[in-house]
Chains A and B, each alone.
Chain A
Amino acid sequence: MINGKRRVAVNTIMILIGISFLFPLYWMLNISFKTKSEVYNNPFGLPEQWVFNNYGDALEKFNFPRYLSNSVIYSVGTIILTVFFGSMLAYCFSRMDWKHKNLALSYISMGLIIPSQVVVIPLLIMTRDLGLKGTHMGLILPYSAFALSSCVLMLYAFFRSLPRELEEAACIDGCNIYQTYFRIIMPVIKPAIATQCVLIFMNTYNEFFLAFILGAEDKIRPLTVGLLNFFVSIGVSHWGQIGAAMIITSLPTILVYIIGNEQIENALTAGAILK
């Protein structure tokens, strides 16, 4: 179909484009080993003089452990709440008989078209009034609420593809609905749950806007916002330290990405298949 010469050309172009997506990694590593002045004289070539103290200096001013643990708390908290409650609602939609089921289904779908940014002002007031300001819950609850819609809809589609024989067997064995759900159904939907976990993790871990506004206090700041604050505090004068801080910040994500590449890919495309 494609002749030899054209194939070589196409392959070369695609390799170059593919490599260009790796540029952020190269650039961060590169400047993190440069002295303050070399970044200006030789910003994109390999370091002429390798320095390693940028990492130590950055870690002194950049409270990485705190921001990382905040980010992890937000992500894990959101995953637990959303997946636990969301899967129950999705199951309830797909199996149980109740009157206003379709109405409730459209109701929860509304979350797909309301951007979370829109309600940031009332959310700020609410978290203040509920005493959640300055706590992790002040972000986990809105994150979970906004993650619910797509989680419920995707799991709902998944449940509908499961045969009812599963429950029939359980039913004959005399299981009640809770035992049926947690002992029989939960193990079966593990792959779909894993996909949801990855998806919610990626969205929450990199969320910026709500974190920027609702998580403004330093003790509850996640990495995304904490890193920006670090940039602002040292100014754009010391790119070596900026690079080091960026590498440290990205390491967890890159590790997760390398280990769970396949899983991430499946998760990211799950939505597209669902349509």
Chain B
Amino acid sequence: MLANKVIQMNKLFGNKLAIFIFSFPALFLFTVFVIYPIFPEVLISFQKNDGFRNMGYVGLKNYIDVLNDKTFWRANLNTFTIVFLSTFVALPISLIFALVMDRLSEPMRRFFKGTSVLPAVLSVTVIAQMWIAIYEPMWGLLNSILRALRLDSLAVAWLSDSRTVVPAIAAAFLWQYLGLNALLFYTGIKAIPKTYYEAALIDGAGFIKSSIKITIPLLQDVTKYLLVLSILGCMAQFAHVRIMTAGGPGDISRTVIYHLYYRAFSASDFGQGCAIAILFVIECLVLTFLINRFVAREKIEF
């Protein structure tokens, strides 16, 4: 009977046609629209191409042009500024929110959980437009507050001043996902067995000490997940820049993806666009590799 069952199960799960029918559609769709496009992309990056025709192979010229273009490096600087602010400012703030959330009373926590995700649920177009109004130089909220505090000298034109435009966009973008990331951190905290805290409580450790000694080290899997997610999200930043400044003033606030968009679709240079895309993919792969190499190398099991 047992042997019979095993044979039947093997027949059920070893059916070649069924394996094909179950796996092929998804693998095919994935291959055609995610993996395959990389090949024409590499090819076009070696061509002079205006989006409609290949006007001949030019070797590494597109790559050399991109790398000699100051705007490309400016775009990289901007992108990595956003990545940096996300990693070292926004994520820690989310983590603090999560740690505090864990200590709140249930109704307070429900309220905070409910409101904090709202910005992430609303469309980027809405949020970015709201920040345009906040940064507006004459009647914007930020400058109104600064003037009320008699700090008129700080009230600049945030989105047209070359010194403030990138941090201003980063603040808008990162603020939108602050609450969502806090919620994700909190889920990780909830998964830590309470027994770990009881031990700390007996030792008389307070909120800060138990957070640093117990919670944060035990959260490293979630931290790593959020780190990868937020870094890749920041790398690919486009929407907020497009809506808030369109890369301006001039080309000062472009991110790498915005620069790609500009070269390919506004300057009709698909060759350079593809070269930027290839360089960008390499940057993303290196970053992902570094995080996997240096952050949370051992998986934690409770």
- Are A261 and B114 closer than 8 Å at their CB atoms? yes
Query: What 0/1 readout, one digit per residue, does chain A (131-173) give for beta carbons within 8 Å of chain B?
Result: 0000000000110111011001000000000001001100110
Distance of A168 Cα from B29 Cα, bound (Å): 31
Find chain A residues with CB under 8 A from B46 CB: none
Find chain A residues with CB under 8 A from B206 CB: 1
- Are A148 and B129 closer than 8 Å at their CB atoms? no
- Are B34 and A239 closer than 8 Å at their CB atoms? no
Given A11-B108, A249-B126, A268-B117, check contact A152 B236 (CB 8 Å). Answer: no
Distance of A205 Cα from B27 Cα, bound (Å): 24
Answer whether residue B123 sits at the interface, using C-beta atoms and an 8 A cutoff. yes
Find chain B residues with CB under 8 A from A227 CB: 123, 125-126
- Are B44 and A171 closer than 8 Å at their CB atoms? no
Answer whether residue B72 sits at the interface, using C-beta atoms and an 8 A cutoff. no
- Are A177 and B12 closer than 8 Å at their CB atoms? yes
- Are A18 and B115 closer than 8 Å at their CB atoms? yes
- Are B222 and A275 closer than 8 Å at their CB atoms? yes
Within 8 A of A (CB), among B277-302: 277, 280-281, 284-285, 288, 299
Answer whether residue B195 sits at the interface, using C-beta atoms and an 8 A cutoff. no
Q: What number of A residues sit within 8 Å (CB to CB) of B?
A: 101
Task: Identify the stretch in A53-61, A119-127, A186-194 within 8 Å (CB) of chain B at 4 or more residues.
Answer: A119-127
Q: Which of A1, A21, A95, A152 contacts B119 (CB 8 A)?
A: A21
Given A208-B239, A275-B222, check contact A224 B124 (CB 8 Å). Answer: yes
Within 8 A of A (CB), among B1-58: 5, 8-10, 12-15, 18-19, 21-23, 25-27, 29-30, 32-35, 37-38, 40-41, 44, 51
CB distance from B149 to the nearest CB of A (A): 15
- Are B29 and A145 closer than 8 Å at their CB atoms? yes
Find chain A residues with CB under 8 A from B299 CB: 275
Query: What 0/1 readout, one digit per residue, does chain A (183-215) give for beta carbons within 8 Å of chain B?
Result: 000000000000000000010011011001100
Answer whether residue A259 sits at the interface, using C-beta atoms and an 8 A cutoff. no
Given A115-B236, A121-B270, A227-B123, check contact A14 B108 (CB 8 Å). Answer: yes
Q: Beyond A18-B111, A39-B139, A202-B121, list 18 extra A-B contacts (CB 8 Å).
A: A17-B112, A19-B115, A21-B119, A108-B26, A108-B30, A113-B285, A115-B235, A125-B40, A125-B51, A125-B270, A148-B26, A152-B26, A167-B13, A227-B123, A227-B125, A253-B123, A261-B114, A268-B117
List 14 interface pairs A-B (beta carbons < 8 Å), by A numbering.
A21-B179, A24-B119, A43-B141, A108-B30, A110-B34, A113-B288, A120-B277, A125-B270, A144-B29, A206-B123, A225-B125, A227-B123, A269-B183, A275-B224
Interface on B for A, CB 8 Å cutoff?
Answer: 5, 8-10, 12-15, 18-19, 21-23, 25-27, 29-30, 32-35, 37-38, 40-41, 44, 51, 97, 100-101, 103-105, 108, 111-119, 121-127, 129-130, 132-133, 136, 138-141, 144, 179-180, 183-184, 187-188, 191, 201, 206-207, 221-222, 224-226, 229, 232, 235-236, 238-239, 242-243, 257, 260-261, 264-265, 270, 273-274, 277, 280-281, 284-285, 288, 299
